[in-house]
Chains A and B, each alone.
Chain A
Amino acid sequence: MEEFCTGLCSILAETGADPGLALFLSLLVGVLLVSGVPLITVILLIWIERKVAARIQDRIGPNRVGPVGLLQTIADMIKLLSKEDITPTAADRVLYNAAPLVSFASVVLLWAVIPFTPFHYGVDLEIGALYFVAIASFGTLAIMAAGWASNNKYALLGAFRVVALLVSYEVPLVFALLAPVLLAGSMSLVDIVNAQNGMWFVVLSPLAFVIFYISSQAETGRAPFDLIEAESELVAGFNIEYSGMKFGMFFAAEFLHVFTNGIIMAILFFGGWMGPLYYESPLIAFAWLGAKGGLIYFTTLWLRNTVPRLRIDQIMAFNWKFLVPLSIANLIVVSFVLKVMQELQLAPRDILSAGFGDLLPTTIILLLFNGAMILYLLGILRKRGREARRESQETRPEFAQTATVAGH
């Protein structure tokens, strides 16, 4: 028991408290902190998201409540909390009320394995990366339950789209996730960050990062993959019947999920807490993680507010005919090259203690292979685009004409 008792626990034990109680209290504080950070963050995130969206659309955004509108979300929360709590009479009462909770929990649970600093994390699971994928599947389930329990055809249609979208995009997501796992030789997120001491994985495997980025954008149901809540087709999607704080839970879960994905990408591909002077203080390490995660989060908001929505057939074709084969090919190339390099003594077998110099040959070779794959892909995409343009010109000449006119 003693070796677990460090930090706050040992301070409490020195004051004469019962060791068991001291351990329990320190663990409780840890749990509250880990689950409290996302709960507090989401309030700020909603404000950031609205401000960024407003700036991109040439508006000002919330600016009335508090300084630069900072307290707008608090006001919205009070409004949502004081709204009448409606459950449709034909709804499945238990599932209808449980779905928002499960949806929010599926995101907050992810924060249990996120390493904030070298010493501060909820738990260092040996299967951290797998845990991330497993917990995400609860989100799909919550949305399906919400859609069905509402007893509304638009809600059910929206839920079907969610299942189709999330289940499909989970495939390239997992294959892309395997690249950092392979490179680090471990599924623990702490090990994955430590393994990036020499070189960030985004340099070693940029293609995996791009696939992961696209798939996680789809997993959160953000544009261009936001057909699950296409207002013009489904009114509001799976959450159409929800009001008050139950709607607020779905809303908060989505916003938090986007930021959580930014943090996860920072951990998997951008070295997590690594950065100049991170060893000086845990606060600096935490700031590096926040800065990297925040930057990736900002680009997803940018993407969301810039691109139009795709049709469901386009999304499915893009996933199954492009992303999935690409992610499998990428995984085979990364694992094969890495193994050959290790056999030739060019890559370090223990990446955890490898420095920048040890990883240089691996980096160059992997980058070359990634570059070759990207060039090949661009060639395929260019060919497909040319074919599509010629096809549209042959079948719909008047459409092609107007398109050209509009283009000029």
Chain B
Amino acid sequence: MELNAISIGFVVFAIFTLGGALGVVTTRNLFQGTIWLMVSLFGVAGYFVLLSAPFLAAVQILVYIGAIAILITFAVMLTRSIARIKERYIRTLPSFIVSLALFLILLLGVAIPIFGAHSPESIPDYVASTRDLGAALVDENGYVVPFLLASVLLTAAMIGAIFIARDENA
């Protein structure tokens, strides 16, 4: 890989993403864990910028990093001691096997084209704009069905949450 701005960016964001992920699973401090999660997600947003998808990058920051603040609030309110968690996760072996298997599948998928062929020049010269993304979401040949399904699912979930949380007497 030749050394240019994109490859340097890739390495920097890889450090962000993987380092942050490592921080999440190793820290015993819940608050610092959420901050590490934020660093990791920030690295993913960086990848979207490298792949010429600024809209996704902004949404990644808005939805995930913005929501981290709420996650922290719940963590602080719902846990007894967030700075020094004593409980240890005991199912180490099963989770090790599952994550190793997932990693191997991913590695195979990259090395051998079992999930369909891919070429190094798969990124087209034409950079899709936000307008194209919006058009694809409502285009009948595009993603209109998944888009509608997701909307219905989210609305149903929201109504369900309101129904459960509703005061009976109100």
Contacts and interface: CB of A to CB of B under 8 A. Distances in A.
A170 B58 CA distance: 15
B65 A138 contact: yes
A133 B72 contact: no
A137 B61 contact: yes
B70 interface: yes
Interface stretch (A50-58, A141-149, A301-309): A141-149
Contacts of A92: 29, 31-32, 83
A95 B54 contact: no
Contacts of B130: 126-127, 187
B69 A130 contact: no
A130 B70 CA distance: 20
B73 A134 contact: no
Contacts of B54: 125-127
A167 interface: yes
B59 A130 contact: yes
**Among A95, A138, A141, residue most surrounded by chain B Cβ atoms (within 10 Å):** A141
A134 B69 contact: no
Contacts of B76: 148, 156
A149 B35 CA distance: 12
Contacts, number: 62
Question: Would you call the interface of chain B mostly helix, strand, loop, or mixed?
Answer: helix
A335 to B, nearest CB: 13
Contact of B58 (A127, A144, A149): A127
A134 B61 contact: yes
B35 A130 contact: no
Nearest to A135: B61
Given A92-B31, A126-B130, A141 B65 contact: yes
Contacts of B35: 95, 145
A140 interface: yes
B32 A95 contact: yes
B38 interface: yes
Given A126-B129, A144-B72, A144-B73, 8 more contacts: A92-B29, A92-B32, A130-B62, A138-B65, A140-B66, A144-B69, A167-B66, A167-B70
In the A-B complex, the 8 residue pairs with the smallest Cβ-Cβ separation, listed nearest first, are A137-B66, A134-B62, A134-B61, A130-B58, A134-B58, A140-B69, A144-B69, A141-B69
29 contacts: A92-B29, A92-B31, A95-B32, A95-B35, A126-B129, A126-B130, A127-B55, A127-B130, A130-B58, A130-B59, A131-B58, A133-B58, A134-B61, A134-B62, A137-B62, A137-B65, A140-B66, A140-B69, A141-B66, A144-B69, A144-B72, A144-B73, A148-B72, A149-B31, A163-B70, A163-B73, A167-B66, A167-B69, A187-B130
Interface of A: 92, 95, 125-127, 130-131, 133-135, 137-138, 140-141, 144-145, 148-149, 156, 160, 163, 167, 170, 187
